[in-house]
């Protein structure tokens, strides 16, 4: 069994000005700047990336991620940001296909596929989000939904591509709602995702791939969720906006 290092990412969404971001990052650097039992990633809004990058570039184990990118290298795409623009700021990870992008910006599995391909080509590590809605869970269709998202989102990929991808399982009904999937529900979904990856990309890909859980992760529930064998980290929204909460999630859930 290949050990998988836990990966905790903070998705700040449309929160934090540059000035606010600096305050938060300075606190995080003090509290977890040298933490090494997990990979830690911060995903600020585009406008705060440069400021956060400058602070992280000192001596820290905290890495930088973006919340989105466009698949084209450059061109007439008003309002969009390319992989090269992110790379210049020392961004290493990029969230792709977050449910809010799917819901409000009409991104579908084909978009996710193109963006993931472009991110990999630029040597960014994609954090690809999948997850079912409440009606899909209630109709017991969640397995079909996850399977389709994986097959279409990773169409044309092989074991090599999978090695650089992180999957985030985020049941839409648990995002920002305070409703968390129970650790057993989350583990069941993660096991299913790993099985699909295994069927399609082979046993090694399935064993290596890290699958984060996201959806109302808090200091109180992180430890139990992350103690499950197939839960390899967390994608944290609301609770990552406060240094004490985010630090507690990381220390509670990842200290060896
Ligand atoms: P939440 O968001 O932790 O606020 O539920 C998670 C996410 O959307 O990535």
More confident residue, 181 or 89: 89
pLDDT band at 42 (very low <50, low <70, confident <90, very high): very high
Question: pLDDT tens digit string along 161-176?
Answer: 999 999 999 999 998 8
Q: Whose CA is nearest to atom 9 of ligand 1?
A: 237
- Mean of per-residue pLDDT scores for the chain: 95
If you ran DSSP here, which 8-state letter would residue 178 be given?
S
CA of residue 76 to ligand 1 center, whole Å: 31
CA of residue 14 to ligand 1 center, whole Å: 12
What average pLDDT does range 124-142 have in this prediction? 96
What average pLDDT does range 15-25 have in this prediction? 98
What average pLDDT does range 196-219 have in this prediction? 97
- Indicate the angle between helix axes 109-121 and 142-153, nearest 10 degrees: 40
Q: Please name every residue paired with 65 in a beta bridge, in sequence order, or none if there are none.
A: 93
- Atom from ligand 1 closest to the CA of residue 11: 9
**Given ligand 1 and candidates 8, 102, 214, which is best to mutate, with the most ligand atoms within 8 Å of its CB?**
214
Backbone φ and ψ of 43, nearest 5°: -120, 85
Which pLDDT score, from 0 to 100, does residue 187 have?
A: 98
Residue 122 confidence (pLDDT) above 90: yes
Which pLDDT score, from 0 to 100, does residue 256 have?
A: 64
Strands 166-169 and 125-130: parallel
Which pLDDT score, from 0 to 100, does residue 190 have?
A: 98
Backbone φ and ψ of 35, nearest 5°: -65, 135
Residue 58 confidence (pLDDT) above 90: no
Beta strands in the chain (DSSP E): 6-11, 38-43, 62-66, 93-96, 125-130, 166-169, 210-214, 233-236
Helix residue spans in 33-177 (DSSP H): 46-56, 83-88, 99-104, 109-121, 134-138, 142-153, 159-162
What fold characterizes domain 6-254? TIM Barrel (3.20.20)
- Dist CA 77 CA 155 (whole Å): 25
- Atom from ligand 1 closest to the CA of residue 235: 9
Which pLDDT score, from 0 to 100, does residue 44 have?
A: 98
pLDDT band at 231 (very low <50, low <70, confident <90, very high): very high
Which pLDDT score, from 0 to 100, does residue 57 have?
A: 81
Q: Whose CA is nearest to atom 2 of ligand 1?
A: 237
- Dist CA 235 CA 233 (whole Å): 7
- Dist CA 177 CA 33 (whole Å): 29
CA of residue 75 to ligand 1 center, whole Å: 31
- Dist CA 192 CA 190 (whole Å): 5
Which pLDDT score, from 0 to 100, does residue 253 have?
A: 86
Which pLDDT score, from 0 to 100, does residue 232 have?
A: 97
**Given ligand 1 and candidates 67, 174, 176, which is best to mutate, with the most ligand atoms within 8 Å of its CB?**
176
Active site residues: 98, 170
CA of residue 12 to ligand 1 center, whole Å: 9
């Amino acid at each position: 069994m290949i050990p998988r290092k836990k990966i905790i990412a903070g998705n700040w969404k449309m929160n934090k000005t540059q000035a606010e971001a600096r305050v938060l990052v300075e606190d995080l650097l003090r509290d977890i700047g040298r933490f090494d039992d997990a990979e830690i990633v911060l995903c600020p809004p585009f406008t705060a990336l440069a400021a956060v990058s400058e602070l992280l570039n000192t001596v820290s184990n905290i890495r930088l991620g973006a919340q989105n990118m466009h698949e084209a290298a450059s061109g007439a795409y008003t309002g969009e940001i390319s992989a090269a623009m992110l790379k210049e700021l020392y961004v290493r990870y990029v969230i792709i296909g977050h449910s809010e992008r799917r819901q409000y910006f009409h991104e579908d599995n084909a978009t996710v596929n193109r963006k993931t391909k472009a991110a990999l080509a630029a040597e960014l590590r994609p954090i690809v989000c999948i997850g079912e809605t409440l009606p899909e869970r209630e109709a017991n269709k969640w397995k079909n939904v996850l399977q389709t998202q994986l097959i279409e989102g990773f169409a044309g990929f092989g074991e090599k591509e999978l090695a650089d991808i992180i999957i985030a399982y985020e049941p839409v009904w648990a995002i920002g709602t305070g409703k968390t999937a129970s650790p057993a529900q989350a583990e069941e979904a993660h096991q299913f995702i790993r099985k699909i990856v295994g069927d399609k990309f082979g046993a090694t890909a399935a064993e290596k791939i890290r699958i984060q859980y996201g959806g109302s992760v808090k200091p109180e529930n992180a430890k139990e969720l992350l103690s499950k064998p197939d839960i390899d980290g967390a994608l944290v929204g609301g609770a990552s906006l406060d240094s004490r909460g985010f630090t507690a999630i990381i220390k509670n859930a990842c200290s060896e």
